[in-house]
Chain A
Amino acid sequence: GDSVTQMEGPVTLSEEAFLTINCTYTATGYPSLFWYVQYPGEGLQLLLKATKADDKGSNKGFEATYRKETTSFHLEKGSVQVSDSAVYFCALGDTGFQKLVFGTGTRLLVSP
C-alpha cells in the first residue's frame, strides 16, 4: 500500500536557522501531498498542500515542492522561530481510498 517516510526527529535548531524536514513517499499513481503541523495538546493543522508534480505549496514561510522524479515533498523554511516548535507530519491522499496516509511525524525544537 501507499506509505510515507519522514526523517527521524527531533530536529533541534536555533532561531533564524534554515529548516529542512525530509519526506518521501511510495504510491501508485500521483497522490495529493500535504504537510500538517501539530502543536502540543492540539489537533493537526493543514500547513500546505500540492496536488500535482512540480506544484509548490507554501504558507507562513514554509514551502514544499512535489517532486515526482524523486517521490519527495521536503518541507523548508528559511528562518525558523521559537513559535514553530511543533510536530510536523507529511501525508498523502491514498488514491481511491478516501483517506490520508501519514508519516511518523518529526518533532522540531527551536531555541532562542
Chain B
Amino acid sequence: KAGVTQTPRYLIKTRGQQVTLSCSPISGHRSVSWYQQTPGQGLQFLFEYFSETQRNKGNFPGRFSGRQFSNSRSEMNVSTLELGDSALYLCASSPRTDAYEQYFGPGTRLTVT
C-alpha cells in the first residue's frame, strides 16, 4: 500500500504571499491531520479532518486553514505568510475514527523569505 504523499516537498515563498500544500492519505484512511514542526516549538497540531469535516483545530491564527475532499485528500493553506511560518509541515492519516495511530508523510519544507 502506498504511504502518505505530500506535495510539493520544498517551497520557497516571500512574506505576504499565500501557499497551498497538498496531502494524499493512505488508501482507505479517512482521517487526515496536519502538524507544524519547528526547532523551537517542536511538533504542533494544526487541524484534523474526517470525512470532509474539521473535527479539531490547534492554536494557530486564522491565516492557517485547510479542507478535505471526498476522496480524503487534503489541502492546507497559509495566507499572508510571515517569516515565522518557515517550518516542516507534516500530514498524517489514520485508519481509526479516533485519529490515533497516525502515519506520516515526508513533509513539505516551507521557507519564507
Binding site for B on A (CB under 8 A): 32, 34, 36, 42-46, 49, 89, 93, 97-102, 104-105
* Cβ-defined contact, A44 with B55, below 8 A: no
CB contacts (< 8 Å) of B31 on chain A: these are: 98
* Cβ-defined contact, B104 with A43, below 8 A: yes
* Cβ-defined contact, A105 with B42, below 8 A: yes
Interface SS of chain B: strand
Q: How many A-B contacts are there with CB distance less than 8 Å?
A: 54
Can you name 23 A-B pairs with beta carbons within 8 Å?
A: A34-B100, A34-B101, A43-B106, A46-B101, A46-B102, A49-B101, A89-B43, A93-B99, A93-B100, A97-B56, A98-B31, A98-B48, A98-B55, A99-B48, A99-B99, A100-B33, A100-B92, A100-B100, A101-B45, A102-B42, A102-B43, A104-B42, A105-B42
